[in-house]
Amino acid sequence: MSYSSRGRKVRRRRKNLNIRNLIILIAGFVVTILLLVLLVHGAVRLVSKGIGALTGDGEGTSGQSSTVSGEDNSSEPASEPAVSWTSVEMTEADEREGNLILVNGSHEYTAEPEDMTVLYGNKSNSYGLKVAEMYLKTPALTALNNMMDGFQEATGIGSTLAVSTYRTVEEQQTLYDEDIANTAGSTSDSVAQPGHSEHHTGYAVDMSYSAPTGYTYLDGTGDYAWLTENCYKYGYIVRYTADKSSITGYIAEPWHFRYVGTVHAEAITKGGYCLEEYIDMIKLHDYQNPYSFVSENGSSYLIYYVAGEGATTEVPVQAGRDYEISGTNEGGYIVTITTSSATSVSTPSTSSTDGTSSTESSDLTGGSSTVSEDSGSSSSDSGSSASSSN
């Protein structure tokens, strides 16, 4: 082989080697660039996550993301659901039904109450009965049981006595005539006329307690102040107070409890109303301008008045919401709509009744002997008893 041919071969090998080296150098440079890009991208993401965790923005963790999203949504104004109205047909007779019926000297009660329950065998063991045959409207009896259970639990006293509940018109007439005969007057200023007593409705109860001289009507003092202060939680009000006697027409009777339901009992008590004033106030509010009431447990209500229109009345109510309609016994209806409910931390528990224990004498009298109508120790013969016959 000649020298020139060998030189050409050497030059070709060197050229090929240079090309390979160049390719390797370029590949290494590209790989280095890619690694730097990936490294920078990873560092940026790591820093972004750290800032997001500190500020609550950015990606953060999945839990943090959902929290931020929730905060963003809560900042938007909540849209009120559209309220649709419907109506309920009420009759003229319905005006005289319900726990807000008004019965006083100028509002006669001409209906006969239904849904009555005898107390004997259906009451709790926390109080006694003057006689076995006593009746209340079923919701009023349930509330009375709960209230007296609460009173006994709070004070340890179980010797209170229900002395008067539902009365017939004939029974009221007898009491009225006896008072006129005893006072030699032409009318009675302490006993309601027949047809004008709350006891006709089945929503009223008179309570007494055991004293050294016998059973005496509650005076709302001492341990028994608990009933005056807490009865609204169970749906009762003290119907006749001294400061409202010019409106109710009766002197103070701290022993006379009237059931109106928990919503209205709280509104009446906290508003400082008597029942007459409360109904007059509600009559200022129709369904387009209802009275808004929020109870102490957080539940909210709309309350308004609808005037009766004769034989039938279309009473407007909100569709899809719980409501109650009560007659007022003076020409109209009161509607109570629940707009939101909350569980009360102090909701009274429903007490169970024990039919077997009520057959015992101690259950009827709260541990003492039964007080008869003509007993000398009975509070019905005391000086305060004459005004107890409303």
C-beta of residue 165 within 8 angstroms of C-beta of residue 136: yes
Q: Which of 319, 338, 314, 335 is nearest to 86 (CA)?
A: 319
pLDDT the model gives residue 55: 44
Strand order in the sheet with 300-307: 291-294, 300-307, 332-340, 323-327
Q: What is the pLDDT, as a whole number, of residue 259?
A: 98
| Residue that has been written with the tokens 């106030």 in this structure | 281
Across the range 158-176, mean pLDDT stands at: 95
Task: Say what the pLDDT of residue 29 is.
Answer: 76
> In the predicted model, what is the mean pLDDT of residues 226-241?
98
pLDDT at residue 230 is higher than 90: yes
Q: Looking at the predicted structure, is the pLDDT value of residue 139 above 50?
A: yes
Tell which residue, 272, 188, 190, 178, has the closest CA to residue 232: 272
**Contact present, 146 and 126 (Cβ < 8 Å):** no
Nearest to 137 by CA among 168, 170, 165, 169: 165
User: How far apart (Å, rounded) are the C-alpha atoms in residues 235 and 203?
Assistant: 11
CA 203 to CA 57: how far, in whole Å? Answer: 61
What are the distances in angstroms from CA 98 to CA 183, 280, 323, 333?
35, 17, 13, 9
Residue of 5, 17, 81, 380 lying closest to 217 (CA atoms): 380
Radius of gyration of the chain (CA): 40
Q: What does the pLDDT read at residue 116?
A: 97
The answer to whether the CB of 357 falls within 8 A of the CB of 363 is yes
Per-residue confidence (pLDDT) for residue 26, from 0 to 100: 80
Residue labelled with tokens 């107070």: 241
Bridge partner list, 90: 313
Residue 372 CB neighbour total at 10 angstroms: 12
pLDDT in the model for residue 316: 98
Percent of the chain scoring above 70 in pLDDT? 72
Residues 26-72: pLDDT tens digits?
A: 877 777 777 777 776 666 565 555 545 444 444 433 333 333 333 44
The secondary structure of 339-383, three-state, reads: EECCCCCCCCCCCCCCCCHHHCHHHHHCCCCCCCCCCCCCHHHCC
Taken in order 271, 87, 97, 283, is the CA torsion positive or negative? positive
> What value does the mean pLDDT of the chain take?
80
- Which residues, in sequence order, are CB contacts of 263 under 8 Å at separation 6+? 293, 295, 301, 303, 336
DSSP code of 200? G
CB atoms near residue 327 (< 10 Å): 24
DSSP per-residue string spanning 107-121: B---S---SEEESTT
Query: Strand 128-129 vs strand 161-164: parallel, antiparallel, or unpaired?
Result: parallel
| Residue 183 pLDDT level (bands cut at 50, 70, 90) | confident
CATH of domain 85-388: 3.30.1380.10
- Could you tell me the pTM of the whole model? 0.71
* Euclidean distance between CA atoms 19 and 25, whole angstroms: 10
pLDDT above 90 for 321: yes
Q: What pLDDT digit, counting tens, does each position of 80-105 carry?
A: 567 899 999 999 999 999 999 999 99
Cβ neighbors of 242 (< 8 A, separation 6 or more) are 251, 252
Give the number of other CB atoms < 10 A from CB of residue 325: 18
Answer whether 113's CB lies under 8 Å from 141's CB: no
Beta bridge partners of 85: 318
pLDDT tens digit sequence for 1-26: 554 555 555 456 666 667 777 777 78
Q: Which two tokens stand for residue 350?
A: 């429903």
Where in the chain are the domains?
Answer: 3-68, 85-388
Residue 383 has pLDDT above 80, yes or no: no
